[in-house]
Amino acid sequence: MKDEHCSGHCHHVGGSDGIYGVGVIGALVYFLHGVVGFVPVIVGIVKAFFWPAFIVFKVLTLLNI
């Protein structure tokens, strides 16, 4: 069913996009501070984009779930 206010190209954006973006920038600074070498930089970038998954994993591990 099509939304009557939508002409076919509607995007529903939540409010958490900005918060995630700021978190990614902060995580990039945190993970790339003092890093030397190609592989550690790539690992730091990957960690910066997937930091919410690391947090959820750590919390679930601490809760023994």
- Could you state, in order of their start, the residue ranges of all structural domains in the chain? 37-65
How confident is residue 34, by pLDDT bands cut at 50, 70 and 90?
very high
Helical residues (DSSP H) of 1-65, grouped into ranges: 16-32, 38-49, 51-62
Rounded Cα gap, residues 33 and 9, in angstroms: 40
The candidate with the shortest Cα–Cα distance to 46, out of 20, 23, 24, is 24
Beta carbons of 44 and 35 less than 8 angstroms apart: yes
How confident is residue 33, by pLDDT bands cut at 50, 70 and 90?
very high
Residue % of the chain over a pLDDT of 90: 42
Look up the pTM and report it. 0.61
